Copies of this chain bind each other. A is one copy, B any other.
Amino acid sequence: MVAEGLPDTVASRAAGLPAGITIWEVGPRDGLQNEKSVVDVDVKLEFISRLADAGLTTIEATSFVHPEWVPQLADASDLLAGMTRRDGVRYPVLVPNERGLDRALEAGVGHIAIFASATESFARKNLNRTLDSQFEMFEPVVTRARAEGLEVRGYLSMCFGDQWEGPVPRSQVVAAGRRLLDMGCSQLSLGDTIGVATPGLVEALIADFGSPDQLAVHFHDTYGQALSNTLAALQCGVSTVDSSAGGLGGCPYAESATGNLATEDLVWMLDGLGVSHGVDLTKLVETSAWMADQLGRPSPSRVVQALRG
């Protein structure tokens, strides 16, 4: 387990884990979208800037969903106009449809993400579409985005369970995921929107996809399982993990979906595992503590609580 010559206080990277991973920071979008009181665009801009200072290289900045759905992100165009883009940092933006893509293109976005559902119930609740017809909505978005030179990520919600349908057949998840990849998404993020997954299911679903190469994982900590599910995904070779600074976030249309995996708790584990990620934990904790002050309540991240509590 431990490489020859290392001091025996240090464990070498466990067998099978990636040497390094990309942390896909969703705090400014998934983390904030559920906040009731609207956060000032300057605070959001400082949040994004501080996340980049902390070493995050993929920061999901905002969303072009209709402002009536997510009032918190109604300032998407202003935010992108005010945002300083740094070399080596990607700022993907959520786009629900062709109108959203128009706005993203106007704003000079280089990377978008679409969001589909693995279940019929959530496709109807979240998108007002059937499971099948959601793909008809996304197909022209992806095709045009690719033609414009944009990178496209596909989110897939409710991959491990759905509060209306219960357990979701893995074959259904794989079929929906493949449609997103086949239409031109370069990455597929498997979302445990209501936080019910456990490591064996994570392994089984990734195995059913055949390869971890285009997969990312997106866990919510509703039942305390987010980090162990992430460990299971890393053990399967997944090398992009979604997380939210300070554990901010949830899903406005799924009642029991509480916070995302906290980026700090993920970084703590990766540091111990010797998996590189590029994030300065001290700066990140300072950022989340600052953001918690802005929001007026403590961060749910255990690491933030332990180091700043």
Determine how close the nearest CB of chain B comes to the CB of A130; give it in whole angstroms. Answer: 21
A225 at the binding interface (Cβ < 8 Å): yes
Contact flags (1/0) for A165-176 with B, using CB distance below 8 Å? 011111100000
Residues of B close to A223: CB separation below 8 A: 265, 268, 302-303, 306
Binds B, one of A51-59, A69-77, A270-278, A290-298: A270-278
A114 within 8 A of B: no
Query: A132-140, A210-218, A227-235: which one contacts chain B?
Result: A227-235
Q: Is the CB of A1 within 8 A of B203?
A: yes
List of B residues within 8 angstroms of A224 by Cβ: 227, 262, 264-265, 268, 301-303
By the criterion of a CB under 8 Å from any partner CB, how many residues of chain A are at the interface? 52
Nearest to A227 among chain B residues (CB) is B228
With known contacts A197-B272, A227-B227, A265-B225, A204–B1 Cβ distance under 8 A? yes
The reply to whether B8 and A302 contact each other, CB–CB distance below 8 Å, is: no
Smallest CB separation, A89 vs chain B (Å): 26
Please name the 8 residue pairs, one residue from A and one from B, whose CB atoms are nearest each other, closest first.
Answer: A198-B272, A224-B302, A9-B167, A11-B200, A224-B265, A11-B204, A228-B228, A1-B204
Q: A199-B269, A199-B273, A203-B14 are in contact. Are A306 and B258 (CB under 8 A)?
A: yes
Q: Tell which of A1, A170, A195 has the most Cβ of chain B within 10 Å.
A: A1
Also in contact, A200 and B8, with CB within 8 A (given A207-B1, A223-B268): no
Q: Taking the complex as formed, is A242 at the interface, i.e. its CB lies under 8 A from any CB of chain B?
A: no
30 chain-A/chain-B pairs, Cβ below 8 angstroms: A1-B204, A1-B207, A7-B167, A8-B169, A8-B170, A8-B208, A9-B167, A11-B198, A11-B200, A13-B200, A198-B271, A199-B231, A199-B272, A199-B273, A200-B273, A201-B272, A222-B306, A223-B268, A223-B306, A224-B301, A224-B302, A224-B303, A225-B227, A225-B265, A225-B268, A225-B269, A225-B272, A228-B231, A228-B269, A231-B232
